[in-house]
Structures are given as structure tokens and as C-alpha cells.
Structure 1
Amino acid sequence: MSFVKQVAISAPLVALFALAQSPTSVSAGGDAGGSGASYGLSNTATRSVTKTLSRGGAQCRKQPPVYRYDCYRLVYRRAANQLQGNSAYSEAQQALELVERSLEAAVAQNRDSTQPKRRRALETYTPVKPAAIPRVKRAAIEALEQAETILLRSPANKQEHYTRIAEAINSNKVLLRSALLPGGMIRFAQALITGFLRQG
């Protein structure tokens, strides 16, 4: 076989190999194949972020109130880091980082130096002063609302994915707002709901 024919046959194979090795770009609603990182809008990336926000928010809700807000800060940091380097989620990353920075500032301004930090797994939570909890809580809710606004005003081609992230943020906001009620009222409401579900 001549050298020219060998080049003609091998060139398409080299091109296919290079294509297979390059990052897979996906459109809204799609998934990047394989076990590597996802590029572009994908169900995999969106699901990962919403799961981090939902599970993290539930865990933070179980923390003592003085540690709860630094816990949320770290949740939003983790979620933002999951989108690092994926330009398709630039607005979402911006929204999550906004919440993280707002909570970081609120915790720092209202830190309770008389109480020890709290460890959970590899994370450490900084306490705020008990008297400052309502103020920190309002700052957190305001940041969550701003993040939702950023996401819901995103370009049309991103709405499907960004709306799902906004819904996870809204769930955290609902949990925080419910904490504004006296603890006894919350426990009473939870007991009613649990009893209703058992009867159903």
C-alpha cells in the first residue's frame, strides 16, 4: 500500500479519536456521556447542585440555631464549586456565591467569640450571638431571594435548569422562614402533619 493511501485511510481515524477524547458539549436538557465532568447545561450537573442544596439545607436545619447560618454558607460554597469552570452555569454560580458571601459577612459581623466552633465531619461552623439570630436570618433570606431573582431572570435557553436550582434555593428559604415561628408552634404543626399522613 502506498504512503499516500495509508495517510488517506488513517486521517479519518485520527480525527475520530481526537473527537472522542474532547469534552462533550451538551445543550439544555442533555447529559454529557461517560463518568467525567459535564460541560454545558446538563441534567447531571443541575441534579448534583440541587441535591447539594436540598440535602445540605436539611442538615443545616438540624444544627443549633447559632451554628446554622455558617452551615448554610458552606453548603452554598460547595454548590458553587460544583459549577466551577462550567461557563453555561455562570449566572447560577454567581447566585450561589452571592449567598455564600452574604452569609460569610453576616456570620463575621455577628460572631459569638464566647462559644466554641462546632465540628461536623470535615466542616467547622462558626457560631453567631443568640441575640443576633433574627438579624442574620433576615440577611440570609434576603440573599436567597436575590439568588432566586438572578436565576429566574436567566436567558430562556437556561430556564429549565436554572428554575430547578431556584426551587432548591426556595426550599431552603421556606425552612428558614418557618424557623421565625416559635419552636413550639413548629413542633405542633409537624405533629399535625405527621398524624395526618399516618391516617392517610
Structure 2
Amino acid sequence: MIKTVKWLRGAAMVAVLALAGAVFAEEDNGFSEHQTKRAVDTFTYGAEQCATLDPIYRVDCLRQAYSQTVRVVANASVYWEAEVALTRVNRGLYAFVREHLDKNVGRVRVNGGRIKAVTADSVPVAQALYGDGVDRAVAAMRGASSLEVRYFEPIAQVLLASKALMQ
């Protein structure tokens, strides 16, 4: 009888722990307000630095802000959709800067990096490219699951706000 009671208590404990593990696993989904805030703060700081520059430097400056933000979200694998969206914008800006680099203008140091200038004639094209890239990134982040959207929305908001920098 005592063995049976002990066995039943042990079985009950195993069942409770199994249920508790499932509940804790549901709550620990890898997303965090802190991680999202770090990404938002990193991008916001970079964009604020870019706002002080001439338009010919803003393309590369924003590329650097995206690159730094990608490094932040890459630390949490559940942010991979946001990472991919941000990386696409970053790569588009990188290719644009390489293609439209103004070699006659020197670099400036901003936010720990040396920012390159694009030709003044290419700035309107950069504005359109940047607007399209941001729209696609925001659409990707808002098209994710409802849980992901909850954490990606603040990032999407700062991206949309940065479109004004290129106008």
C-alpha cells in the first residue's frame, strides 16, 4: 500500500512537472521587450545621427544604422524575420552607395564609422530606393505571426519614421 501511494505521488509529480514545463515553454518564446527596445534604440540613435548630415551622406549613414540594428536582432534567433527584412534594406543601400559613390568628396566620421558620400544627382533615386526598401521591410514585419508582430511593430514604426530623413 505504501509503495502504491509513493508511486502515485511520484507519477503525480511527474505529471505536474510535465504540465509546468509546457506552460513555461509557451511563455518563453524567445521574444523580449528588452531585445526589441535595444533594436529600436540602436536604429533611432543611428538615424538621429544621420539627420545632422547633408543628404549626400545620409544613404551610407542609414546603411550603417541598419547594419548596427541587424547585429542587435541577430542575437535572438526568433527575430530572424526582422533580421532578414533589415538586411535586405542594408544590402540595397550598400549596393547603391557603391554604385553612386562620389569619389571627389571626403568621408565623415559618424557614430563610430566613416560615412561615404553619394553623388548629388543620385539622391532622388536614393530617396525612392529607400522608401521602397522601408515599405517592404515594414510589410514583412507586419505580415508575420501575431506574436512576432507584437515585437516587430516598434521596429517597423522607427523605420517608417526614418523615411522622412530621405525626403
> Could you list the runs of 4 or more consecutive aligned residues of structure 1 that deviate by over 6 angstroms after TM superposition?
none
**Offset from partner CA, 1:125-175 (integer Å, 9 cap, x none):** 111001111011111111111100110001122111111111111111133
Q: 2:10 maps to what in 1?
A: none
Is the CA contact (8 Å cut-off) linking 1:26 and 1:42 kept in structure 2? no
Aligned counterparts of 2:58 and 2:95: Cα–Cα separation in 1? 14
Partner in structure 2 of residue 70 of structure 1: 60
Q: Choose the corresponding residue for 1:45, options 15, 35, 38.
A: 35
Q: Which runs of 5+ in 2 are unaligned?
A: 1-24
Question: Once superposed, what is the RMSD of the aligned Cα atoms?
Answer: 1.8
* 58, 79, 87: which one aligns with 2:77: 87
1:162 is the counterpart of 2:149: no
Which residue of structure 1 aligns with residue 125 of structure 2? Answer: 135
**Shift, 1:52, TM fit:** 1.3
Q: Please give the secondary structure, in 2, of the residue aligned with 1:81.
A: helix
| 1:115 match | 105
Cα 1:66/1:113, change in 2 over 3 Å: same
Q: Which residue is 2:11 aligned to?
A: none
Task: Report the CA distance between 1:64 and its aligned residue.
Answer: 1.1
Normalising by structure 2, we get a TM-score of 0.80
RCO comparison, higher one (Cα < 8 Å, 6+):
2
2:121 partner SS = helix
Change over 3 Å in CA distance of 1:51–1:121 after alignment to 2: closer
Q: Give the Å deviation of 1:121.
A: 4.9
% of aligned pairs identical?
Answer: 24
- Determine if contact 2:85/2:141 at 8 Å carries over to the other structure: yes
- Counterpart position of 1:145: 135
State the one-letter code of the partner of 1:43: E
Kept in 1, the 8 Å contact 2:33–2:151? The answer is yes
For the 8 Å contact 1:26–1:41, the answer to whether it is kept is no
Counterparts of 1:11-50 in structure 2, within 5 Å, are 27=28, 40-50=30-40
Partner of 1:55: 45
Cα distance in 1 for partners of 2:152, 2:110 equals 30
Query: Which structure features the higher share of helix residues?
Result: 2
Q: Which residue of 2 is the match for residue 17 of structure 1?
A: none
